[in-house]
Structure 1
Amino acid sequence: MQTKKRVVSILVIVGILLAFSGVIAHLSPMDASTAVEAPQVEARTTASATATPMFVDNPYVIADIAEMASPATVFVAVEWPIAEQAPRDERGLSQDPFNYFFDFWFSDPFTNRPPVQQRSAGSGFIIDESGIVLTNQHVVGNKGDGQTITVVVGGPGLEQEYQAEIIGSDQSLDLAVLQIINEDQDVFATVPLGDSDQSRVGEWTVAIGNPYGEALHHTVTVGVLSAKGREISIMNQETGAPQIYRNLMQTDAAINSGNSGGPLLNIKGEVIGINAAVHAGAQGIGFAIPINVVKDVLDELITTGKVSVPWIGIYHQNLTESTAAQLRLPDQKGVLITDIVQDSPAEEAGLKAWDVIRRINDRDVFSTSDVADELAKHKSGDEILITVMRRGEVLL
């Protein structure tokens, strides 16, 4: 059969999450809790294989990084009134291995009587001298009336407390931006942002934060970037539904409860990630949100308070071996469109149910995660080129 080709240009527009929840479950950024950001810096230059190791030239390089970044790393404490406690097991602990990281100070597991105030704690870092702080959304949440946020700035003996407010957050990306209420017009120390796309597996990483609360504030741990592009699932404390985190950086720098929202730095002292999660059942497995993800949405978070979600108006699912065989596909590459939203960009472009998306722009598609990742790179009004197979024919 001769291959038929035609151009399908799809206009990506911002969808309404509630109206298209079935689509957004795959396509939209994630809504959970965490964020952090800072000044943009030049991409790092890869050292040659014969370069002298940095620790030989400067054995105090980690100490230098800690001294530079610690003043901009803050302790974040949140209090809000509660009606009841979330269910726990017989020990009062969550059974999800990742959720231990989020349980710190969220409740008193040793009593059935709920406290008057619920508390959570974490870390953050300052990216603007006026007091703009990046942290995780799950650190500050969105607890409504009665919620207070306290930010503690400064190292040992220099601590100073400030009240702060949320000026932007996105649960799906687990990002939050805080503004310190700075009545005295204090000038705050900041930490520069790096380029997480240029980071390499095996390079040194430095994590700074407040494990287990303010008593251990500004703890510095060191490790390497263990992997990139990791995906994990965590039970969302507020919704009770699983939350999927994609494209995370994995590090073996020690991350513990209270490190959420703190900076993960490279050897140049630049933030390459926001510490977000740790696997409670294993040592040396921590995860951070790539800082470039934050850069892409930071201005929008600050100016509008939220992140707009691009959508094209499709319901879709991963291909199974049996479905691929039924559709007479050469392989399992692609995702199957199961339905089209009426009057959506996808319908206007001519996409139909039972089409198989094989490629978006210059990226091959193997799963719904690939579709979500590619759409997340675009904004409302962008055009994208989608290659689909329909009844064995390629439609370009």
Structure 2
Amino acid sequence: MKTKKIPLLLAVLIVLLGIGISSGLLGLNWGKFKAPQIPQTNQIPQETIKVVKEESVVIDVVEKVSPSVVTIGISKTRNLGQIFEINPFDPFSIFKQIPPPAGGEKVEQDIGTGFIISSDGMIVTNKHVAADTQAKYRVITKDDKTYEVSKIYRDPVNDLAILKIDPSTSSGQALKPVEMGDSSKLKVGQFVIAIGTALGEFRNTVTTGVISGLGRGITAGSPFEGYVERLDNVIQTDAAINPGNSGGPLLNSAGQVIGVNVAVAQGSQNIGFAIPINVIRESLENFNKTGK
């Protein structure tokens, strides 16, 4: 059978025509069946959502717990000793001795942090914060009410002290106890919040971080009393803890106290330590049973 040769020009026209017809059909179909329009939405980046959630957690915890966090202040009379004055008009007595003020000089300073554990006036802090048996201590609440400490229980084993104040001596807000958590359930990497009187000056300072380690053992020293103490099974955190934060609460994201801030590693950054709250529970149970 002979095949007829189609001229090249005619073949090109047929191809182009086929393309044109196909395009036309597609155009008709596309015109009949339009894709539904998707409404525009303002999508928030995932990082922004994460930050907002984290901020909300911190704000909620601070609002819940900060009324229960107090500043510990010390009041002590310091003997000045003998004072001498140069007398240039008396060649036989170059120095004139001046008697010191009667009773010495009274010194007051905010030195630590604590938190309320009962509405009748029991406060937890570190033993090294209230270690001076010759001094008087006071508690300052968030609403700037001051209470004199009437009794101090110092734990012979742990760096823990319980201060007793009388809520009726001030017209401030009712004392609000903290909620205690369970330190046996802590995990490395868990989010934590610390509240305290940083540097003995900045009350209710809030810092955040994570649990960096558990079951640590350290040798801690007090800048106020000059003694050292061995602390075992403590929580390590990278939340900023400064002198003055001692005795303040370390909190989980639910606002529960999981530790008592106790020390910071000198010469390093973001290495702080806290006594697990379960250790504090044992001391409190012993105190409630024996009263000492």
- Measured against the shorter chain, the TM-score band is 0.5 to 0.7
Corresponding residue of 1:287 = 273
Q: Deviations over 1:240-278 (max 9, x none)?
A: 664211001000000011100000001111000000000
Letter in 2 for 1:198: K
Which one of 191, 194, 210 corresponds to residue 178 of structure 2? Answer: 191
Higher RCO (CA 8 Å, separation ≥ 6 residues): 1
Out of 189-198 and 57-66, give the one that drifted further.
57-66
Alpha-carbon distance change, 228 to 56 in structure 1, aligned in 2, over 3 angstroms: same
Instruction: Find out whether 1:133 has 2:123 as its counterpart.
Output: yes
Distance 2:156 2:127 in 1: 6
Which one of 232, 247, 256 corresponds to residue 261 of structure 1? Answer: 247
1:171 CA displacement: 4.4
Distance 2:111 2:290 in 1: 25
Which one of 178, 201, 206 corresponds to residue 163 of structure 2? Answer: 178
Structure 2: 5+ residue stretches without partners: 1-48, 81-103
CA-atom RMSD, angstroms?
2.6
Corresponding residue of 1:151 = 139
2:195–2:245: 8 Å Cα contact kept in structure 1? Answer: yes
Q: Which structure shows the bigger proportion of residues in helix conformation?
A: 2
Give secondary structure in 2 for the equivalent of 1:294: helix
Alpha-carbon distance change, 285 to 132 in structure 1, aligned in 2, over 3 angstroms: same
1:167–1:301: 8 Å Cα contact kept in structure 2? Answer: no
Distance 2:157 2:50 in 1: 37
Which one of 297, 305, 322 corresponds to residue 283 of structure 2? Answer: 297
| Greater radius of gyration (CA) | 2
Instruction: Find out whether 1:233 has 2:236 as its counterpart.
Output: no
1:1-396 matched pairs, under 5 angstroms:
59-82=55-78, 117=107, 119=109, 121-144=111-134, 147-154=135-142, 158-184=143-169, 187-214=174-201, 216-235=202-221, 242-306=228-292
2:122–2:165: 8 Å Cα contact kept in structure 1? Answer: yes
1:236 CA displacement: 5.9
Letter in 2 for 1:166: K
Give me the identity figure in percent: 39
Q: Deviations over 1:163-213 (max 9, x none)?
A: 123342114301011111222586211210000010101000000001022
Corresponding residue of 2:10 = none
Tell me how many residue pairs correspond in the alignment.
Answer: 219
2:192–2:252: 8 Å Cα contact kept in structure 1? Answer: yes
Alpha-carbon distance change, 241 to 253 in structure 1, aligned in 2, over 3 angstroms: closer
Distance 1:119 1:59 in 2: 33
1:160 CA displacement: 0.9
2:120–2:166: 8 Å Cα contact kept in structure 1? Answer: no
Alpha-carbon distance change, 184 to 77 in structure 1, aligned in 2, over 3 angstroms: closer
Give secondary structure in 2 for the equivalent of 1:183: helix
